[in-house]
Amino acid sequence: RNCRERFVALVPSLACFGHMAKVLSLPRYWKLAEVGWPARDWKSATWIQRLRGATLNPRRPESKKLLERMTDEFLSCFSAPFFNMCGDETYDLGRSSADGSPRDIEKLYVDHLVFMRKPAARPGTRLTVRGAVLHHHVGARVAAQHVDVGHPGHRAQGRADGPVEQGALFLQ
């Protein structure tokens, strides 16, 4: 309410892929990480250890259920027209698979973005992810099929099939 009265949209951001170490360090969620948690618990982990085991394994149905519960509870607290799912620092993506090829990682990343549209779906809400993150993982050709490049109310500089460095990408 405080933000609305001042014409400010507080955009909720929730780690839904990478940066999930604190959740994935809990014993009940260990199996949802791409790679095993490298420390006894969050408090005892070094900074470097906290970078590993921080990526959610998008292949596991339990991972999807966790994200559905988290986003449902989290988004009920906001009225902004956007939801930032973050999606960065997925260092371990694909490492739980024997394949782990760049094409496999690209597919995992895109499939996860497509999945996240469902739990983020609220009337008038658009799912966003940082442009540089998506461009790094899947490249401009694939990104152009799944995103609308720009900021609210205008198109960003550049095109979805060109370099994307700044701004939000809105999932179609």
Residue whose structure tokens are 């999807």: 64
Judge whether 38 and 49 are in contact, CB under 8 Å: yes
Burial class (CB in 10 A: 0-12, 13-18, 19+), 69: exposed
Rounded to whole angstroms, the Cα distance separating 163 from 160 reads 8
DSSP secondary structure code for residue 83 in this structure:
E
Rounded to whole angstroms, the Cα distance separating 89 from 118 reads 22
Average per-residue pLDDT in the chain?
A: 78
pLDDT-derived band at 135, boundaries 50, 70, 90: low
Q: What's the pLDDT score for residue 143?
A: 54
Judge whether 110 and 138 are in contact, CB under 8 Å: yes
pTM of the predicted model, to two decimals? Answer: 0.78
pLDDT at 159 over 50: no
